[in-house]
Amino acid sequence: MSVLIVDRGEGTPSGETAALDKVLVPVMKVATEKLPGVKFEQALWSRSIITKGGSGHSVHMSILRRLLLIWTLIFWQGGFMFYGGVVVPVGSRILGSDQEQGWITQSVTNYLNVAGAVCLIAWGWDVFAERVASPGGRRLRWLSWWFLVLALGVLAWLHLRMDDLLDLDGFLILDRRRFRSFHQWYLSVSTAQWVVSIMLSSLTIRSWSEGDAAQSGGATAPPPS
């Protein structure tokens, strides 16, 4: 038989929490009575599940911070994958050559790098704010973040070097050998940046999970007996 236990945690419930108790406790009683094999032992609303330390401000800020990171990351790395996987081959086919498409990419990558800078600011804020994770995990997040910052700086520098080898008015490449070398480095650094972004995304989700578990530690559900 399973036992459902939701612990109230420490502190005195506020008026809003007490009102929720009046609604939720009867509902949970009825629900557990209808579920075979589940016994209702205790159903108390825990403020610690929603807030930490009785304040909703930190939770609201955490949600805002995570949403900001998610959307800026989607725009940056999602845009990078979509542009490289769809726009570049389609543009090359329609325009007739990779070089013709490259003139568009030369401008678009500036916007991608700016998007990366915005995302890394949000990501740095998140790494700084999420302190519940293990010290080793947090250090790995910081190392990954600094790698992404360094990679973005290298990409910006390479972009400037390639721009120096272009005649944008006449759509000419002034030194193809040097341009090709810089371009290969640009692709390699971009790929490494993408891989580390995926790794840091995984570490970030794990950190969020650990932080949420620490905040809602009052809720327990023993295994079926």
First-last CA distance in the chain: 5
**Whole-angstrom Cα distance, residue 159 to residue 135?**
36
User: Can you give the pLDDT at residue 51?
Assistant: 38
- Compute the average pLDDT of residues 24-49: 49
**Whole-angstrom Cα distance, residue 193 to residue 155?**
10
CA distances from residue 60 to 50, 52, 64 in whole angstroms, order as listed: 10, 11, 6
pLDDT in tens, 58-79: 777 888 999 999 999 999 999 9
Pairing of β 38-43 and β 2-6: parallel
- Compute the average pLDDT of residues 121-138: 86
- What is the pLDDT of the chain when averaged over all its residues? 78
Task: Flag whether the pTM goes above 0.75.
Answer: no
Each domain of the chain, given as residue ranges in start order, spans 2-45, 57-214
For residue 38, pLDDT beyond 50: no
Closest CA to 152 of 184, 197, 182, 203: 197
